[in-house]
Chain A
Amino acid sequence: MVANTMTTEAPQRIATAKPVVAERTEKTGTGRLALDAQDVHVYYDTFHAVKGISLPIHEKEITALIGPSGCGKSTLLRCFNRMNDVVSGVRIEGQILYKNQDIYAAGVDPVAVRRRIGMVFQKPNPFPKSIYNNVAWGAKINGYKGNMDELVEKSLRQAALWDEVKDKLQQSGLSLSGGQQQRLCIARTLAIQPDVILMDEPASALDPIASSKIEELMLELKKDYTIVVVTHNMQQAARVSDRTALLWLGELVEYDETQTIFTNPSQQKTEDYITGRHG
Chain B
Amino acid sequence: MQLHRSILESNLQELQSKLQEMARLSLDGLEQAIESLKRGDTALAGRVIAGDDKINQLEVDIEQTVVVTIATQQPAAGDLRAIIAALQIATELERIGDHAASIAKVTIRIGGEKLMKPLIDIPRMATNGKDMLMKSLKAYEDQDSILAHEVAADDEDMDLLNNQIIRELLAYMVEDPAKITQGSNLLWVTHNLERIGDRATNIAERVLFMKTGETLDLNR
Residue of A nearest to B8 (CB): A276
For A170, list chain B residues within 8 Å (CB). none
* B213 near A1: Cβ-Cβ < 8 Å: no
Name B136-162 residues within 8 Å CB distance of A.
Answer: 141-143
Of the candidate stretches B12-20, B45-53, B125-133, B178-186, the one touching chain A is B12-20
- Whether a CB of chain A sits under 8 angstroms from the CB of B1 is yes
Most B CB within 10 A of own CB, among A10, A235, A274, A279? A274
For A277, list chain B residues within 8 Å (CB). 5
- Whether a CB of chain A sits under 8 angstroms from the CB of B211 is yes
* A271 near B77: Cβ-Cβ < 8 Å: yes
* B82 near A276: Cβ-Cβ < 8 Å: no
Instruction: Report which of B12, B15, B81, B86 forms a contact with A263, defined as CB distance below 8 A.
Output: B81
Query: Which range contains the number of B residues in contact with the other chain?
Result: 20 to 34
Name A251-278 residues within 8 Å CB distance of B.
Answer: 262-265, 270-271, 274-278
* Distance between Cα atoms of A5 and B75 in the complex (Å): 16
Closest Cβ of chain B: how far from A28's Cβ, in Å?
A: 20
* Distance between Cα atoms of A273 and B141 in the complex (Å): 24
For B211, list chain A residues within 8 Å (CB). 9-10
Label chain A's interface by main secondary structure: helix
- Whether a CB of chain A sits under 8 angstroms from the CB of B79 is yes
* B213 near A264: Cβ-Cβ < 8 Å: yes
Closest Cβ of chain A: how far from B117's Cβ, in Å?
A: 44
Residue of A nearest to B10 (CB): A3
For B80, list chain A residues within 8 Å (CB). 262-263
* B2 near A238: Cβ-Cβ < 8 Å: no
Interface string of A1-37 (1 = CB under 8 A from B): 1110110011000000000000000000000000000
Instruction: Report which of B13, B75, B210 forms a contact with A275, defined as CB distance below 8 A.
Output: B75
Indicate whether A6 sits within 8 Å of B2 (C-beta atoms), given known contacts A1-B16, A234-B76, A274-B76: no
Instruction: Report which of A2, A6, A235, A265 forms a contact with B86, defined as CB distance below 8 A.
Output: A2
For A275, list chain B residues within 8 Å (CB). 5, 75-79
Most B CB within 10 A of own CB, among A6, A10, A277? A6
* A276 near B81: Cβ-Cβ < 8 Å: no
- Whether a CB of chain A sits under 8 angstroms from the CB of B74 is yes
* A5 near B143: Cβ-Cβ < 8 Å: yes
CB within 8 Å: A-B pair count: 69
For B13, list chain A residues within 8 Å (CB). 1-3
Name B63-102 residues within 8 Å CB distance of A.
Answer: 74-82, 86
* B77 near A262: Cβ-Cβ < 8 Å: yes
Indicate whether A235 sits within 8 Å of B213 (C-beta atoms), given known contacts A3-B12, A5-B142, A9-B143: no
Closest Cβ of chain A: how far from B46's Cβ, in Å?
A: 35
Instruction: Report which of A1, A262, A263, A279 forms a contact with B2, defined as CB distance below 8 A.
Output: A279
- Whether a CB of chain A sits under 8 angstroms from the CB of B61 is no
* Distance between Cα atoms of A263 and B74 in the complex (Å): 12
Indicate whether A1 sits within 8 Å of B1 (C-beta atoms), given known contacts A6-B78, A271-B77: no
Closest Cβ of chain B: how far from A162's Cβ, in Å?
A: 33
* A263 near B76: Cβ-Cβ < 8 Å: yes
For B121, list chain A residues within 8 Å (CB). none
Residue of A nearest to B5 (CB): A276
Instruction: Report which of B74, B142, B143, B212 forms a contact with A235, defined as CB distance below 8 A.
Output: B74
Residue of A nearest to B15 (CB): A2
* B213 near A263: Cβ-Cβ < 8 Å: yes
For B9, list chain A residues within 8 Å (CB). 3
* Distance between Cα atoms of A277 and B9 in the complex (Å): 11
Closest Cβ of chain B: how far from A255's Cβ, in Å?
A: 16
- Whether a CB of chain A sits under 8 angstroms from the CB of B4 is yes
* Distance between Cα atoms of A224 and B114 in the complex (Å): 78
Residue of A nearest to B16 (CB): A2
Interface string of A161-172 (1 = CB under 8 A from B): 000000000000
* B82 near A6: Cβ-Cβ < 8 Å: yes
Interface string of A227-239 (1 = CB under 8 A from B): 0000000110010
For B16, list chain A residues within 8 Å (CB). 1-3
A residues with CB within 8 A of B: 1-3, 5-6, 9-10, 234-235, 238, 262-265, 270-271, 274-279
| 17 pairs, CB–CB < 8 Å, chain A vs chain B | A2-B16, A2-B86, A5-B141, A5-B143, A10-B211, A234-B74, A234-B76, A238-B76, A263-B81, A264-B77, A264-B81, A271-B77, A271-B78, A274-B77, A276-B1, A276-B4, A276-B5
Known: A2-B16, A5-B142, A275-B75. 4 other contacts (CB 8 A): A9-B211, A263-B77, A275-B5, A279-B2
Q: Which 10 A-B pairs have the closest CB atoms?
A: A264-B213, A3-B12, A276-B2, A5-B143, A274-B76, A6-B78, A276-B5, A2-B82, A276-B1, A262-B76
